[in-house]
Amino acid sequence: MEKHQKRTVGIPMVGGIAFTFLIAFLGFWLAKVPGFNMVGQLACAIIIAIVYRQIFGYPEQIRPGIVFSSKRLLRMAIILYGLKLDIAVVLQDGLGLLARDVGVIIFAIFVTVWIAKRLKANPTISLLLGVGTGVCGAAAIAAVAPIIKSKDEDTAISVGIIALVGTVFAIGYTLVRPFLPLTDIEFGTWAGMSLHEIAQVILAADVGGEDALAIGLLAKLGRVFLLIPLCFLFMYWMKRKSVDDSNSAKIEFPWFLIGFIIMSVIGSYVLGHSIPYPESVKSVVTSVTSWLLTAAMVGLGLNVSLSDLKTKALKPLIAMVITSLALSVLVFFII
């Protein structure tokens, strides 16, 4: 009897996890279709998940596995994402860029929130979009969301918007490159300091050549590095907020951030130094991270109701687009 109960409990868990990976796999293939290949696997998977939810509803029978993907797998992806951050390179070659990156993050968050208030937009989605715009897109949103107690639906909407808008901006950068009075280094710096995702920086900076791509990634890594202190600032802010509001729930420490920091240290000072880290292994780790993050976002996407999307997302989207345009112009003049 007990074995039967365990088996019964295990089916919804395994089935839900498998379902999120199935949609992630469909997103992977959709991202290979011309047009969708510019959007990327993550955004394609979220789109499929949202469409599935509207047509077939939420698959309640396998909810435990879907929740596991959206919570646990998401944290695992963030931890592994730390391996992408080379702290040594940022501190050695990017200190000048790092100072400007701080300004970029402050500008993106405060301007997005300020515009959102004027538009009376959803505050949580607006804040997440400000963080994603200023730091590193979906990964930053995923890291900050549990700290500010964002609803799964709001997190998914924010990730979808940041991926789609960021891709449009990256394509726009490649189109205007021939008309800009910038050197390859300056163009790469511009892309790295103002675009949303690492993949989008690579897409845009690559047209400027190897030097542009290298400096672009360095500028972007500085913003990823700043995700760590930013998360702790949000923790402090939420704790202060909970003290002021006696009805607020206790803020749980996001232990996955410690994992992120540990992985960053390992990736920066251990792997490739005292321990060999072949490119083939690095590629596998990157792929695993991408798949875990995509499956997690599918779990979040299944919580999105399109009936709420128009009312909740339109104004934050407008605020984010205005901020992104202003950020591009600002960075253009300070590089």
Q: Residue 55 is inside which H or E element, if any?
A: helix 41-56
pLDDT tens-digit profile of 27-74? 999 988 887 877 678 878 888 998 898 899 889 999 999 989 988 898
pLDDT of residue 251: 57
pLDDT of residue 1: 46
pLDDT tens-digit profile of 96-126? 888 899 999 999 999 999 999 999 999 999 9
Using the predicted structure, report yes or no on whether residue 239 has a pLDDT greater than 60.
Answer: yes
CB distance 40 to 167 below 8 Å? yes
Contacts 24+ apart (CB under 8 A), 6-9: 9/64
pTM for this prediction: 0.79
The arithmetic mean of pLDDT across residues 197-212, rounded, is 85
Phi, psi for 249 (deg, rounded to 5): -75, 155
pLDDT of residue 9: 54
% of the chain with per-residue pLDDT over 70: 92
Which tokens sit at 14?
């395994």
Mean pLDDT of the chain: 86
Which tokens sit at 49?
């998940």
CB distance 171 to 197 below 8 Å? no
Which tokens sit at 256?
């996955």
pLDDT tens-digit profile of 72-88? 898 898 889 888 878 88
CB contact set of 40 (below 8 Å; sequence gap of 6+): 31, 163, 167, 199
Using the predicted structure, report yes or no on whether residue 5 has a pLDDT greater than 60.
Answer: no
Phi, psi for 212 (deg, rounded to 5): -65, -40
Q: In a 3-state reduction of DSSP, which class is residue 270?
A: coil
Alpha-carbon 29 to chain mean position:
21
Buried b (16+ CB within 10 A) or exposed e, 193-217: bbbbbbbbbbbbbbbbeeebbbbbb
Phi, psi for 271 (deg, rounded to 5): -65, 130
- CB neighbours of residue 103 within 10 Å: 14
pLDDT of residue 190: 95
137-141, 271-275, 318-322: least confidently modelled range: 271-275
Contacts 24+ apart (CB under 8 A), 110-119: 111/322, 111/323, 111/326, 111/327, 112/319, 112/320, 112/323, 115/318, 115/319, 115/322, 115/323, 116/315, 116/316, 116/319, 119/315, 119/318, 119/319
Phi, psi for 110 (deg, rounded to 5): -70, -40
CA distances from 239 to 72, 106, 131, 153 (A): 23, 20, 19, 23
| pLDDT bracket for residue 309 (50, 70, 90) | low
pLDDT of residue 4: 47
pLDDT of residue 2: 47
The arithmetic mean of pLDDT across residues 250-279, rounded, is 82
83-97, 175-189, 222-236, 243-257: least confidently modelled range: 243-257
pLDDT tens-digit profile of 129-147? 999 999 988 889 988 998 9
**Dist CA 136 CA 88 (whole Å):** 19
